Amino acid sequence: SSEQNTIVPLRLEANIVAELEESLVLCYTGSNHDSGSIHRDQKQQHETDDAVAAAAKQKEVTREIRHHLLRGQLLECGRLIDEAWHAKRRLSPLISSAELDAIYDLAKANGAVGGKLLGAGGGGYFIFFVRPFHRYPLIAALEQKGLSCSRIAFEENGLRTWKSRMAARVRGPSRP
């Protein structure tokens, strides 16, 4: 059915992963968001022709990104991420705002090739794609506006959890 998503792991060469890590900047927008209300609004808008076209565009762009990632054509991926962001913004007026658009425009003016909000939108984190040598000027421009930026490193093994074998200390340090 069309309501199911299939997850296919990407087997990328180590040098592609390394270059991708150097090309991505995570930026906290400073504003939280209510993903529930955004998802509800998207669902209501989903029936409109514009929303159906936007969703189809997102799917197509995702396939193209995968194609370019596997070939190490990262600049094309950055351009497609920009395209995907514009398609996502059409899904609901709650996904972006004047403040978020200003952050995006600032990033684009300072070297970002593309970017998108992570999750439902409305706030939280932007991820920006930038040519590696333009990364530090981009971070400097965003931080000058009071935004917090960080690097991205991929974890090959995914999330790991464990239980400590050491007993928790309940009292403070013992005195001599």
Task: Give the mean pLDDT of the chain.
Answer: 83
- pLDDT tens digits for range 46-98: 556 677 777 787 788 889 999 999 999 999 999 999 988 888 887 777 788 88
Q: Which of 26-35, 100-109, 141-150 has the lowest mean pLDDT?
A: 26-35
Q: What is the mean pLDDT of residues 28-46?
A: 56
Q: What is the mean pLDDT of residues 139-164?
A: 90
pTM (2 decimals)? Answer: 0.76
**What was the pLDDT predicted at 30?**
81
**What was the pLDDT predicted at 34?**
47
- Is residue 21 over pLDDT 60? yes
90 torsion bin: left (phi>0), alpha (psi -120 to 50), beta (else): alpha
Whole-number Å distance between alpha carbons of 145 and 168: 42
Nearest to 36 by CA among 160, 142, 122: 122
- Is residue 4 over pLDDT 90? no
